[in-house]
Structure 1
């Protein structure tokens, strides 16, 4: 295994990663979208299996993650990706076992977080000592609709102090969890790093590059915002019906997922230095664009 080191990049690198990811995505957009979408579809399908489906899907998240990155790397190398890209990292039994360990760790932490949150109050109940408004006989009843049927109960979406504390507490656990698994599958599959070491390496790589990663996330959110605004303007100009508008918006999450994966590959190559990808992003930024 080659000696690896972590590069610390400035905040502007976050935008460079997104630009590099979009350039890579533009090479084979349809192929990348279709193949990358297979990962979430597999997780969703496994989640439908009662009892064991969701834990098993969480365990497979690292393996599916490296599969999606392998698709992007194949395109970057100038080859045509296929279904074999998803299983390339699983052919090595050592890497397969390490990915399984990372998946078990991920599933245990997510399961513990969800279980803990389910036992906490959601802050939606009325404070003690208060009485229902006049004419209300209880929280479970609904007012009759003009047509005679019951009016569906409107969910309470108010931001209460309890809900704010729960949200912040979940972030305290969720963000470090994502930091530990962000680069770990690639470190295990591509650099034969042990699972525990890969988790620590990934965490500190994200921590040392927290500024560009924040810019990276904000840039992705900006892309989503611009895409929604553009589609909304198009829908308004065409005076499209609701069904047609839904068809226009449906591919947006898949496009964002594909660009996220291609830009994550660019991020990985820029942050993780194995001696073979020195300043790849910086070099890409300096090269003039090839003519269409």
Structure 2
């Protein structure tokens, strides 16, 4: 494993590659992302513990989407089983991914606990138990403060886990080491990741704006479905771009003998 430092403009390339890869296999990647979201949603049906289980599955499911995107970029059709790539790579790898998932859930819940200091747990309760955001909550300074603390605190948490699933799976690093190297890679390539984030914000905003305008012309029922469908496609495109951030930030040897979904992307 070797850390690469890439120019800021690479962030825009990652966005383009993600979109291009999605276009190659739109049905497969959209379907896999829908399965990803469905599993997470099903877990959250269980009170409190369901949300924790869902959080634990996110790193492994993200790795599955990265593996699927890698397959699509090589001109192959990603099968549904690729979504559980992280959990069928052997007992040792399974344990490492579960530990990584537990660390992610712990960090996320800890961040929610921090917000409870500001609003008495309203924001955390809304996330863990569900519900609707009322006008009263939006006018509550404590709730708004908790929301901002969560938003700002989630950034370093996401950077810690950005490359971690891929490093655990493809580079066989321990969960703790993967978190360290993920954070270092994101920091050393902060220019590229800043461009990447801003570009995706622009793509998501523009895509949803166009869908909303078209939806307003064809009626509320079909229009809402169009907006939801557009959100699904745009998020699937985003997840399709993640593997390229890993590929370019880390140089890893490509083993031609290894199975396609268990092979690190070439640098």
TM-score by length of 1: 0.77
Which residue is 2:234 aligned to?
256
2:266 corresponds to 1:266: no
Question: What SS does structure 1 have at the residue aligned with 2:119?
Answer: coil
Aligned counterpart for 2:99 among listed residues 96, 101, 115: 101
Is 1:61 the equivalent of 2:39?
no
Partner of 2:33: 36
Deviation at 1:244, TM superposition (A): 1.6
Task: Count matched residues.
Answer: 245
Deviation at 1:271, TM superposition (A): 1.0
Q: Deviations over 1:152-172 (max 9, x none)?
A: x84253585x66654554345
Give distance in 1, aligned partners of 2:62 and 2:229: 20
Deviation at 1:60, TM superposition (A): 1.3
1:245 corresponds to 2:223: yes
CA distance in 2, matches of 1:244, 1:51: 34
> C-alpha displacement at 1:267, in angstroms?
1.3
Q: Name the stretch that deviates more: 75-84 or 176-185.
A: 75-84
Identify if the C-alpha distance between structure 1 residues 165 and 20 changes in structure 2 by more than 3 Å, giving closer, same or farther. Answer: same
Task: Tell me if structure 2 keeps the 8 A contact 1:66–1:185.
Answer: yes
CA distance in 1, matches of 2:242, 2:40: 20
Alignment match, 2:258: none
Question: Which of residues 204, 207, 213 in structure 2 aligns to 1:224?
Answer: 204
Q: Which protein, 1 or 2, shows the higher relative CO under an 8 Å CA cutoff with sep ≥ 6?
A: 1
Gaps of 5+ in 2: 123-133, 255-263
Q: Give the Å deviation of 1:35.
A: 1.0
The unaligned stretches of length 5 or more in structure 1 are: 125-152, 281-292
- Quick one: structure 1 residues 274 and 168, their matched pair in 2 at CA, closer, same or farther if it must change by over 3 Å? same
CA distance in 2, matches of 1:105, 1:279: 28
CA deviation string 1:59-101 (max 9, x = no partner): 1111111111111112122222112202233221111111111
